[in-house]
Amino acid sequence: MGALLSLTMSAEALAGWGWRIPFLLGLLVGVLGYFLRRGIVETPRQRISHRMPLVEAVRDHMPLLLRLIAVSALNSVGFFVVFVYIVTWLQRDGVPPARALGINTISMAGEVLMMLAVAWWSDRIGRRSLGLTAAAFAFVGALPLFWLVHHETPAFIFIGQMGFVLALGMSWGVLPSLLVESTPPGVRCTLIALGFNIAMGVVGGLTPLLATWLVARTHDDLSPAFLIMAAAAVSFLSLLSFEESYKKTVVTT
């Protein structure tokens, strides 16, 4: 939507009122969600514990919760740097908004395809090995890929983005199954909700601000790559503490 509006509207109109259009269209998602949700019939299930899931998750599973946050670090930081911050970053380098958003749109579409392919692959060779490979590639490739994205040639920018798509798509493809297979029933939903959303909301949400501060502080346009490298290192070390789980039977009750 951002790319389409940037192509079809003047900068003045987009800044004045056009930016509201995607938010208004977003209301349709809520309406669709309502009709999907109202047809779901829930079956009461017996609780394993009489305590609140939130209390049980924090009191009894804090080490696991911290590992879930850590293993999600690459996904959260990588997403906010590569698909959120970088759009503004490219425009600072003189890339027109429509082109920056267009590259981002293509990259996100590629990310979805990569996620599906890796998820299918992980059912056959395992989650842990692919996750470790993704984290290692993100750590090693962050700086050179950022250098490519920083290039003035559109083809180089696109190649750099596709490199990030490869690394992050691999990580995103294994994370959901890994989270489910590594958490106990009864508090699984709570643990995953806390671990994943703390990583995305707090760690990832602050990433664009930190990336902007780093560039201003160091005067190095490539410095946000170090955020991805740090997150990749954290996720890699966390993954080492997880057992391979793709052959595990997930207990739901």
Say which CATH number the domain at 209 has.
1.20.1250.20
Q: What is the pLDDT of residues 163-181, one digit of tens each?
A: 999 999 999 999 999 999 9
- Together in a domain, 121 and 175: yes
- Together in a domain, 119 and 224: yes
- Together in a domain, 111 and 215: yes
| Token pair in block for residue 29 | 């998602």
Could you tell me if residue 245 is inside a domain? no
Owning domain of residue 170: 53-239
Could you tell me if residue 48 is inside a domain? no
Q: How far apart are CA 85 and CA 209, in angstroms?
A: 9
Q: Is residue 65 within 8 Å of residue 194, measured between CB atoms? A: yes
- Together in a domain, 14 and 116: no
What is the per-residue pLDDT for 47?
53
Asked if the model's pLDDT at residue 97 lies above 70, the reply is yes
Asked if the model's pLDDT at residue 46 lies above 60, the reply is no
Q: If residue 59 lies in a helix (H) or strand (E), which one and from where to where?
A: helix 53-60
Cα atoms found within 13 Å of the Cα of residue 155, Cβ hemisphere only? 0
Q: How far apart are CA 229 and CA 137, in angstroms?
A: 10
User: How many folded domains does the chain comprise?
Assistant: 2
Q: How far apart are CA 107 and CA 165, in angstroms?
A: 6
Say which residues have a Cβ less than 8 Å from residue 85's Cβ, sequence separation at least 6.
207, 208, 211, 212, 224
- Together in a domain, 31 and 149: no
pTM of the model: 0.83
- Together in a domain, 70 and 129: yes
The CA R_g of the chain, rounded to the nearest whole Å, is 20
Could you tell me if residue 29 is inside a domain? yes
What is the per-residue pLDDT for 67?
95
Could you tell me if residue 251 is inside a domain? no
